[in-house]
Structure 1
């Protein structure tokens, strides 16, 4: 099937999973697409993608992942005539040999039938890119090694879009969303979420038990460290998908420990003395920003370290909680830009690619190259019909989505936010997008506005980004 629409008139949608983590990087992509001459880019909240995409009239959609649990949704988009690309938002910190190791990830992508649905894939680093060349079933000219746009802001060239929150602080980043979930009501629900994307049940059970133990021990040791260093200011930033309740309760009586999970991770890292963590991907964020990390390595074990092996390798490894105190006390003597650059090249580059602030530009270039390939490709994608279980829940969901398309997802979002307040964590506004755009010095003046459309000109959650028209 030839791709009929000229590049300069393309309407591109980008699904935003977690605004705290992803929004700035995806705005950089949107800005670059508009600078390159694309007509309109839509930033689409993940929870309302199905509703909004029905009315956005997209040519291209960049989604945040492709797994078993969203395959039917992806197929719907393809059957609508949309070219679907993947820019995975969780592709950097990978397992050694479990489900999300590069090789197993690529094999599962092929086995689950995604080569027939996905037009192109953008990769964080070389290891996953090469695994997909070998095992995914997608041709190499549909794969693009780009890096992840959200890490562009860690480069000095994009410091203007940062909004630093603290200075001279010690940042504690936790990573226990599997056992302290914000959006799930129980561990059983969280376990089902893991199972839905292909993780083995035995592995999940082992991981959850180890994480429960480690979370309690980490909080105990932070209490000890903060008491031993009363003049230091500690900021605990929990994972965006973690609940803050357990931390606020635990550190209520610790005056120099402040729990704050708001905002972008790079805003929290900026100005920090160091980052404390256990198997947290934010250690890579810190390294990219030139801030050293300390791993509470004595709390680690084989199950957890193999699940996320990279953070320990790029951090100072504390042998016990007193060692954490000692490392913090002499952290200024341990900082070395040359050493951190060496660590990045040796351990991180294969997972995150180049630390040059240009990942967003490479995504745009990669999109154009793959679309050019599709234009000259005479082979039509095979899109087999996937069976959908039609029951009462299916009927209710279909009714809900129909109502959303008619009334607008913004009205529905307001209702659902009252019923499920946790959903607000994945919401973002036109004002937020415009504030970030205003900090970017770009070739064209770009504006953000709320999208209205559909049969009744209703308001939707997606934000339209386009070139400002000069009167």
Structure 2
């Protein structure tokens, strides 16, 4: 039986490449895999008639939708794109357990050993539906998939600066107040959330001043600043007039780290990606605080205690003087706890778990009823269809118009380019096809957004 599997894509900059790899693995097994934009899922899941859906998270705001999908006969799993959400495995497990619904899912995939144990100890997910897989997007940090990464996008060697201030500098929400409310919804106390925001604002200002200082002091060294995919670029444009500085927000963080001389960051998980790829990670320790500190990136980074010390390190890089040891000892055990195995096989493990749980009998347990509001809103969407509902939504809330969410969408060409790169390092005995949504071929064309993309395989040679 050919399964129709849906993968929710939250932010293409961060998530698309790893999910295309997972879809590629499913296509190798002969199944149809749909990449579904997060904001269009309530339409496209029903338009396509999916058998199995992999959500990008389970939080209080989407539990009702998960219940409705399952009541409609769709098997539902979670591969959390924020698999290190919270500052510890225990905090992450608390987020998973907060909904009270994770135990009802067909599968829950976690990234690392510490999260796996914490979720089990919390009792959030039963052992038979909890899978330790790693995260597919980090398969590109290992062979053979590292060979599929694109070539360097900057002519000269560069230091990569990754910022991580989506809360105080949001790209997609109305502002910090909205992000603060989201923190409260997932379980932060008001006091803790307010302290975090305060410290994060100070840290962001400090990072801007630091990068401006380094760029001016080291004109011979190239700097590429890549904000978090959920960050606005405008606060960093104050530095953009300098010839040795660029702001780049396209492509994945793994691609940028892979070609960097070093990574400069403050509590950014890309420090762990740098560790996977053998690139030194450096952090300005004087800007850090207990409230914003994230243990994993902190542990694998070289800590510079003053601006002058950091300048010396960067001066060595500009002279290509590598006598200073920038590598932090240890870290392999930490990677295993957070990401399981960096072996290029996380996508295979998720694929096998999807097929395993898809073959199991459907759950017959009491899932609890979704809210009346969600039920009636879903019916209203069905009556109106995608185009009319989206137009009305944009009238009442212009921020939700499709053109204002362009960064959340992806194209057939983007997906096809990734598939071509994968095929070069892993040619298949089957032809891999990338297809746009053809509304005429769907069970419910009225519900189709036209934005989801299918990856599937057929007999033949080439890709």
TM over 0.5: yes
| Equivalent of 1:35 in 28, 33, 56 | 28
Deviation readout 1:19-75 (Å, 9 max, x if unpaired)? 11111111111111111232x110001111111111111111011100111111111
TM-superposed CA distance for 1:292, in Å, is 0.8
| Equivalent of 1:431 in 413, 420, 429 | 413
- The 3-state SS of whatever aligns with 1:159 is helix
Cα distance change, pair 402–210 in 1 and its aligned pair in 2 (3 A)? farther
Matched, 1:78 2:70: yes
Q: Is the 8 A contact 2:44 2:447 kept in 1?
A: no
Q: Is the 8 A contact 1:115 1:136 kept in 2?
A: no
Q: Is the 8 A contact 1:127 1:350 kept in 2?
A: yes
Deviation readout 1:288-312 (Å, 9 max, x if unpaired)? 122111011111111111xx12111
Matched, 1:49 2:49: no
Deviation readout 1:430-470 (Å, 9 max, x if unpaired)? 11111111112332221111112324596621101111355
Superposition map of 1:251-400 within 5 A: 251-305=239-293, 308-331=294-317, 332-334=322-324, 343-372=330-359, 374-375=360-361, 380-389=364-373, 399=380
Deviation readout 1:337-361 (Å, 9 max, x if unpaired)? xx66x63313222001111111111
- CA distance in structure 2 between the aligned counterparts of 1:52 and 1:458, rounded to whole angstroms: 5
Query: Tell me, which stretches of 5 or more residues in structure 1 are unaligned?
Result: 1-7, 96-100
Q: Is the 8 A contact 1:182 1:422 kept in 2?
A: no
- CA distance in structure 1 between the aligned counterparts of 2:245 and 2:74, rounded to whole angstroms: 48
Deviation readout 1:184-235 (Å, 9 max, x if unpaired)? 2222111112222222111110000001111111111111111221100001
Quote the residue 1:151 is aligned against: 138
| Equivalent of 1:215 in 199, 204, 214 | 204
- The 3-state SS of whatever aligns with 1:184 is coil
Cα distance change, pair 345–199 in 1 and its aligned pair in 2 (3 A)? same
Q: Is the 8 A contact 1:54 1:405 kept in 2?
A: no
- The 3-state SS of whatever aligns with 1:216 is helix
Deviates more, 1:24-33 or 1:196-205: 196-205
Q: Is the 8 A contact 1:119 1:142 kept in 2?
A: yes
Q: Is the 8 A contact 1:55 1:405 kept in 2?
A: no
Quote the residue 2:104 is aligned against: 117
TM-superposed CA distance for 1:112, in Å, is 2.4
Q: Is the 8 A contact 2:271 2:281 kept in 1?
A: yes
Quote the residue 1:462 is aligned against: 452
| TM-score normalised by length of structure 1 | 0.87
Cα distance change, pair 382–458 in 1 and its aligned pair in 2 (3 A)? closer
- CA distance in structure 1 between the aligned counterparts of 2:218 and 2:417, rounded to whole angstroms: 37
TM-superposed CA distance for 1:162, in Å, is 1.5
- The 3-state SS of whatever aligns with 1:383 is coil
Q: Is the 8 A contact 1:51 1:409 kept in 2?
A: no
| Equivalent of 1:130 in 107, 117, 142 | 117
Cα distance change, pair 116–284 in 1 and its aligned pair in 2 (3 A)? closer
| Equivalent of 1:234 in 220, 223, 240 | 223
Quote the residue 2:126 is aligned against: 139
- The 3-state SS of whatever aligns with 1:68 is coil
Q: Is the 8 A contact 2:106 2:129 kept in 1?
A: yes
Q: Is the 8 A contact 2:159 2:260 kept in 1?
A: yes
- CA distance in structure 2 between the aligned counterparts of 1:380 and 1:461, rounded to whole angstroms: 33
TM-superposed CA distance for 1:389, in Å, is 4.1
Cα distance change, pair 334–73 in 1 and its aligned pair in 2 (3 A)? farther
Q: Is the 8 A contact 2:85 2:92 kept in 1?
A: no
Deviates more, 1:217-226 or 1:324-333: 324-333
- CA distance in structure 2 between the aligned counterparts of 1:26 and 1:216, rounded to whole angstroms: 34
Q: Is the 8 A contact 1:109 1:136 kept in 2?
A: no
C-alpha RMSD over aligned residues: 2.7
TM-superposed CA distance for 1:323, in Å, is 1.1
- The 3-state SS of whatever aligns with 2:83 is coil
- CA distance in structure 2 between the aligned counterparts of 1:457 and 1:470, rounded to whole angstroms: 33
Cα distance change, pair 109–252 in 1 and its aligned pair in 2 (3 A)? closer
Q: Is the 8 A contact 1:409 1:461 kept in 2?
A: no
Deviation readout 1:48-107 (Å, 9 max, x if unpaired)? 111111111111101110011111111111111111111001113640xxxxx3224324
Q: Is the 8 A contact 2:115 2:338 kept in 1?
A: yes
Quote the residue 2:433 is aligned against: 447
TM-superposed CA distance for 1:412, in Å, is 9.3
Cα distance change, pair 111–395 in 1 and its aligned pair in 2 (3 A)? closer
TM-superposed CA distance for 1:420, in Å, is 6.1
- CA distance in structure 2 between the aligned counterparts of 1:302 and 1:327, rounded to whole angstroms: 25
Query: Tell me, which stretches of 5 or more residues in structure 2 are unaligned?
Result: none
